[in-house]
Amino acid sequence: ARNELAVYYQPKVDLAGRIVGAEALIRWRHSELGMISPAKFIPLAEQSGLIIEIGEWVLEQTCLLVNECRTRGLGPLRISVNLSAIDFKRPGLVEKIAEILDKTGVDPSSIELELTESVTVGDIKACIGIMNRLKALGLTLSMDDFGTGFSSLSYIKDLPIDVLKLDQSFIHGLDAENSSRAIVRAILALADGSGLEAVAEGVENQSQLEFLKQHQCGIFQGYLFSRPIPSDDFLQLLIDSEKNGPTVQADVGPR
């Protein structure tokens, strides 16, 4: 109501450094407390039920941005939106999403939904049913934070997902831990063998990027390329990268 929420976008880049998409990440610019992390307020929004309204708003903003990119001849792009497990499980979710896609006239193949393993807690058959209906709308589905929590390898087999997002804790561990390197290699091999797209999140330095490239990861997201930025800045970044060649320079500015 106070207009303090904003959707930021963090670019995702391919092997050639081209921007192929982004992740929508919500921000709360509080008038007195400053910037509040979604890690703090999303759980509260889930408890209060406000997450439903927030989720719809983030999706709609993202559809409008995708349309704007298309009108300006930027892309092709696929932009992902995080879907809370509470939201995923509510009745009428698929109809509501279909309504937003319809209202905005967005091309659904430009929209990806990021789910976490918590959507599978409870009735797995019902979960698969909802996922199939979302895919029938033309949306892409990705499993966020893969490899953490209760995520089970059988999800790769049972769930109709298109993308595996490697959790950033493994990417950060690449610098120092043999175990993280082994886990990342194994997840990338699983994705490759199962025909899933792999996205690495939290890529912060060149050596992490090199390791990921060597092991068949195709899409990267992280501070090495860009922090999450307001939608106008994201549009400008797309315009600049189209003008100056495809490569996004590593972002070495302050965090």
Judged by the rule CB under 6 A, the positions of this chain that interact with ligand C2E are 10, 24-26, 37-39, 42, 55, 58, 82, 84, 114, 144-145, 168, 201-204, 221-223, 228
Return the number of the residue (4 or 72) whose C-beta is nearest ligand C2E.
4
Is 118 within 8 Å of 149 (Cβ atoms)?
A: yes
Rounded CA separation 175/207 (Å): 8
Distance of CA 254 to the CA centre of its chain: 23
Place of tokens 């192929």: 20
Should residue 204 be labelled a site residue for Mg ion when binding is judged by CB under 5 A?
no
Helix residue spans in 36-159 (DSSP H): 38-48, 51-71, 85-88, 93-104, 124-136, 154-158
- 59 touches, from Mg ion, ligand C2E, none (C-beta below 5 to 8 Å by class): none
Counting Cα atoms < 13 Å in the Cβ hemisphere of 20 gives 14
Cα–Cα nearest to 8, from 235, 232, 228: 228
Should residue 144 be labelled a site residue for Mg ion when binding is judged by CB under 5 A?
yes
Q: Shortest Cβ distance from residue 139 to ligand C2E (Å)?
A: 15
Return the number of the residue (73 or 252) whose C-beta is nearest ligand C2E.
252
Rounded CA separation 219/214 (Å): 12
Is 211 within 8 Å of 181 (Cβ atoms)?
A: yes
Is 24 within 8 Å of 58 (Cβ atoms)?
A: yes
Return the number of the residue (72 or 175) whose C-beta is nearest ligand C2E.
175
Q: Among 114, 117, 197, 204, which residue interacts with Mg ion (rule: CB under 5 A)? A: 114
Return the number of the residue (37 or 152) whose C-beta is nearest ligand C2E.
37
Q: Among 10, 62, 82, 104, which residue interacts with Mg ion (rule: CB under 5 A)? A: 82
Rounded CA separation 34/93 (Å): 32
Should residue 112 be labelled a site residue for Mg ion when binding is judged by CB under 5 A?
no
- 209 touches, from Mg ion, ligand C2E, none (C-beta below 5 to 8 Å by class): none
Q: Shortest Cβ distance from residue 73 to ligand C2E (Å)?
A: 27
Q: Site residues (CB under 5 A) for Mg ion? A: 82, 114, 144-145
